[in-house]
Amino acid sequence: MSNLIFKAADVLRVVEHTLAAPKQCAAFTGPVTEPSILLVHDEGVYLMSNGEPRDIAEGERSYVAHALGCNPKIDSDWYDTSRDLVGGDDFGEALPWAAEIKQQIEQGAQEIIITLTADSLELQQLPSRKH
């Protein structure tokens, strides 16, 4: 089991873009009809919007939110960390959690955590607040 940890501030742009997009692009695994985020492993591990038109960050590159330790621009051991967390094969997976993640951020989450097991992906829930 691995936990992918993302800074909520970085992920907010991803979920806001996909929720506001007029349509959703076909994902790696086939057509997607609802606003989703894409979990990708190629040059690091990151989340990106599946909304169209794309959210361009620079040049032709889409805006992405990297998992902690998995950003080639700032993490010297990003390659090994990425492989340790998600394995060696590149992949892309559409996750229909955009609205749920936005709600977590609005409720004060500082990190978004996705747990990977051999056969599943799970969005970690915020702990309940005691009144």
Q: What is the pLDDT of residues 20-78, one digit of tens each?
A: 999 888 766 666 778 889 999 999 999 999 999 999 998 999 999 999 999 999 999 99
CATH number of 2-123: 3.10.150
Phi, then psi, of 94 in degrees rounded to 5: -80, 130
Instruction: State percent of the chain over pLDDT 90.
Output: 73
**Which amino acid appears at position 24 of this protein?**
Q
pTM of the full predicted structure? 0.91
Element (H, E) at 48: strand 44-49
Q: Where are the domains of the chain?
A: 2-123
pLDDT greater than 50 at residue 131: no
Quick check: helix, strand or coil at residue 32?
coil
